[in-house]
A and B are shown apart, each in its own frame.
Chain A
Amino acid sequence: MVPHFPLFKPLPLHIPDGFLSLPVALIFWVISIGLIAIAVRRTQGELGERQIPLMGVMAAFIFAAQMINFPVAGGTSGHLLGGALAAITLGPWAAMIVMASVIGVQALLFQDGGLVVMGANIYNMGLMTALIGYGLYRGVAGTRRSVRLSVAGLAAWLSVMAGALATALQLWLSGTALLRVVVPAMLGVHALIGLGEALITVAALAFISRVRPDLVEAQRSSGGRGWIFAGLAATFAVVLLSPLASANPDGLERVAADLGFTGHAGPLPFQILPDYTFPFFGGTGLSTVVAGALGVLVVAALTLFLLRAIRRASRPEHLVNAPETDAR
């Protein structure tokens, strides 16, 4: 039997080059580079030289695990993306590096995802998944097995939804897609893909904890309590932002225009739908206020999280910065 290689058919979250505007691509490069830099310092402190073969083989594992598919219906099949599973089993920082490596190789070797937009892809599929996957799971560490597994499933599903939402918003901010179309479409498709992700993640974790309980029970690479907070904040952002963006795109569009995004797209497409009203929010000022408040909340949460992460990263100073010797 010829195995099915998902790497030859792009997953719907790998954005190719040309779909994001340069400012959006650069913003997400900056975020991704910043977080990966912290992750490199953190993992170096935690695991020493042992971590390089471990993370390398685990990155290859994520890649190979994406090949394991199961038929769903009508010729489609489900398989793993792996961000949440990596975060839960390896810890958040190592998972970020592992996922970034997977995404980098997929882009460089298979052109699955672009090079200039790689920062956004790493953010969507590696960083958000680690944040939500680990954050939520960390919150129930030490509870009963059934609780942990259910939360892991929920986290896996949410991490896929978060990636889909982030992808949709990036496409919209780049002027590549219409908000009121791309958000419901992306979330709709990924609600199903995420279900497969959740089922596989839970089964894999259950299997691992039966055979090698030491690997999942003891938090090998322990993140602090900040992760619970950050994971919850990201979850709330996804849970609140998704229906808002689907049901009331005008509000979000106005906020984005006020903040100076989408300015390059010229006048906002209100005139496309002149007599357009939505049953729930309509175009009232209230919805704008709600959207604005949410935006502020998300930014505040992210800032807080970054500050905490940086503060913690700067602690084990003596462990990092081995003298740089060029490998010649």
Chain B
Amino acid sequence: MRADLFDRYQARASLVHALDPRAKVVMAVLFILSNVLLPDGAWAAFLISWGAILGISLLARLGPGFVVNRSVVALPFVLAAVSAIFSVPGRPVAALELGAWRLLVTEAGLIRFASIVVRSWLSVQIAILLAATTHFPDLLHALRHLYVPKMVVAVVAFMYRYLFVLADESTRLLRARDARSPRPEGGGGLSAAWRARVAGNMVGQLFLRSFERSDRVYSAMLARGYTGQLLTLNPHAMQAKDWLALLLLALFSVSIQVFSRL
């Protein structure tokens, strides 16, 4: 398994990639906030926001389809918002009889539902842009500069470092299980509870291997002079272009808020 299996970074030489990571994190959060704050049914504003996302992904040389293709990840959660259709009072469109329940589909409810879906779809694309244009270690560095506790950043850094090691470990466990668990002809076999127990044993096994590995990692680090501080050779500094990009995005967010409420 490759060490960068989990990295979502897309190497390109672009203006977006070259921005300071902390500026990108702040911009992404600002942009998502701006989406979340757009009122229901502000279709023109949604479209402009999407245009901006498209513009940024072209500027980042990711191509027009990249972000959209990845953005299906949040789709299953849309189910959780379906009941919004019935939750807003307004002009009724249709009625549903579900046993003792009588649910009224309203126009405002449909608009609320569609707006929630669009907002989350736009927001996911922004998060994808952030992950695709920023090295994860740089992202961690940005979080440190943005006052996320040192310890939390260090834990996440270690997690990222050992993610593929342990994913590899659990792939091996799964492969071993599959190799030794022939399925009887025509299905059958032991109960789901038994299968769950086997999975649990494997989780326990993985736990012990991880625990022992963390011991080894720690002594290896001590051997190399670890004092509890993590150092980096990759310092970041905010430059004029980073401030400019931040300013532009802030202006965009404010004006789209005003525009959507006109």
Residues of A within 8 A of B (CB): 1, 3, 8-10, 12, 14-19, 21-22, 25, 36-37, 40, 43-44, 48-61, 63-65, 67-73, 78-80, 85, 89, 97-98, 100-102, 104-105, 107-112, 114-116, 167, 171, 175-178, 180-182, 185-186, 196, 199-208, 211-212, 215, 265-267, 269, 271-273, 276, 278-279, 322, 324-325, 327-328
Contact of B35 among A17, A98, A100 (CB under 8 A): A17
Question: Is A201 in contact with B200, judged by CB distance below 8 angstroms?
Answer: yes
Partner of A57, one of B103, B149, B158, B195: B158
Given contacts A68-B203, A176-B80, A328-B232, contact A116 B32 (CB under 8 A): yes
Q: Could you say which residues of chain A place their CB within 8 Å of the CB of B32?
A: 17, 114-116
Which listed residue, B122, B131, B163, B207, touches A65 by the CB 8 Å rule? B207
A22 to chain B, nearest CB (A): 6
B 211-236 binary contact with A (CB < 8 Å = 1; else 0): 10110011001000011111110010
Segment of B53-61, B85-93, B249-257 in the binding face: B85-93
What A residues does B162 contact at CB under 8 A? Answer: 56-57, 60
A73, B117: Cα distance in complex, Å: 30
Which of B112, B123, B171, B203 sits near A200, CB closer than 8 Å?
Answer: B203
- Tell whether, in the assembled complex, residue A1 and residue B178 are in contact, meaning their CB atoms are under 8 Å apart: yes
The 8 closest A-B pairs by CB, nearest first: A56-B158, A203-B200, A207-B204, A18-B120, A17-B123, A18-B119, A199-B196, A49-B228
Q: Find out whether the CB atom of A59 lies under 8 angstroms from the CB atom of B170.
A: no
Q: Which of B12-20, B70-78, B239-247 contacts A (4 or more CB under 8 A)?
A: B70-78
Partner pick for B73 among A70, A111, A181, CB 8 A cutoff = A111
Given A3-B174, A56-B157, A70-B195, A208 and B87 contact (CB-CB distance below 8 Å): no
Structural contact, B8 and A110, CB atoms closer than 8 A: yes
B206 near A61 (CB under 8 angstroms)?
yes
- Cα A56 to Cα B28 in complex, Å, equals 26
Q: How far is the CA of A306 from the CA of B229 in the complex (A)?
A: 30
B residues whose Cβ falls under 8 Å from a Cβ of A: 6-8, 28-29, 32-33, 35-37, 70-71, 73-74, 76-77, 80-84, 86-89, 100-104, 106, 112, 116-124, 127-128, 130-131, 136, 139, 144, 149-152, 154-163, 165-167, 169-171, 173-175, 178, 192-193, 195-208, 210-211, 213-214, 217-218, 221, 226-232, 235
Chain B residues with CB under 8 Å of A55's CB are 155, 158
- Which residue on A lies nearest to B197, using beta carbons? A203
Q: List 20 A-B contacts (CB under 8 A).
A: A10-B76, A54-B218, A64-B163, A67-B171, A67-B174, A68-B206, A71-B192, A78-B196, A110-B131, A115-B28, A115-B32, A177-B81, A177-B83, A181-B86, A200-B200, A203-B204, A204-B203, A204-B204, A266-B88, A269-B88
Contacting pair A102 B159 (CB below 8 A): yes
B84 and A177 contacting across the interface, CB-CB below 8 Å? yes
